[in-house]
Amino acid sequence: MKQLTLPIPDDEIRALQVGESVALNGIMLTGRDAVHKWMIETFIKKTRQPQGDDLEVYEAIRPILDGGVIYHCGPVVAGLETGDYKFVAAGPTTSIREEPYQGDVMRHFNLKGVIGKGGMGAKTLQACQEVPGVYFHAVGGAATLIAQSVKKVHGVYKLDFGVPEAMWVIEVKDFPVVVTMDSHGNSLHAEVASASKEKLAELLST
């Protein structure tokens, strides 16, 4: 298993190939639907004006995302009352929901990796080639096990979005993922979809 430390340099991203197992180490950010929509509307397409703490949060997350990764995750978090946060469960969310946003977010923040489950589409794959970046597939159904890789919760932004939708700043050690979309235009998800379609056509023709 290849060890990678965040932030990840371009040469290390380009060296990754689909099918490689990777252990991630360092600081990363969680973000799902509300976060991606907020990023796009407020700072990329600028269809809404920054409000409240938007600008402060933007300046805080930029250095985390520059060369970093975003994790599609809606965690279960203990310690909400005291602020002594601890991840109880940290399984991946289905990533295709972020397909309309992800490529633009990657380009804007120089994001090198996206973690989730199920893969993403052509727009994200194109961004992976341009930025460059990769899609890391995390194991679905292993939320408690993955949470053990989260060694510390450094803080949270946009908690008003709700616990699952907020941006949690987490420190991970040996976070297990597999590269399923690389910076060379390869996607295991596209390959599986194509092979499945061919197999289905074959079965229906018999």
| H/E stretch holding 55 | helix 54-65
Active-site position among 36, 72, 137, 189: 36
Identify the pLDDT of residue 113.
98
Q: Which domain holds residue 9?
A: 2-205
Tens of pLDDT, residue by residue over 25-74, are 999 999 999 999 999 999 999 999 999 999 999 999 999 999 999 999 99
Tens of pLDDT, residue by residue over 136-158, are 999 876 778 789 999 999 999 99
Judged by average pLDDT, the poorest of 80-89, 143-152, 162-171 is 143-152
Q: Where are the alpha helices (DSSP H) in 89-181?
A: 99-109, 122-130, 143-147
Q: What end-to-end distance do the CA atoms of the chain give, in Å?
A: 42
Alpha-carbon distance values, 90 to 29, 167, 185 (Å): 12, 13, 28
Could you tell me the pTM of the whole model?
A: 0.91
Alpha-carbon distance values, 87 to 21, 102, 125, 135, 204 (Å): 23, 25, 30, 23, 46
What CATH number did the domain enclosing 38 receive?
Answer: 3.20.130.10
Decide if 36 is catalytic.
yes
pLDDT tier for residue 196 given thresholds of 50, 70 and 90? very low
The residue assigned the tokens 């597999």 is 178
Higher-pLDDT residue of 81, 193: 81
How many structural domains comprise the chain?
A: 1
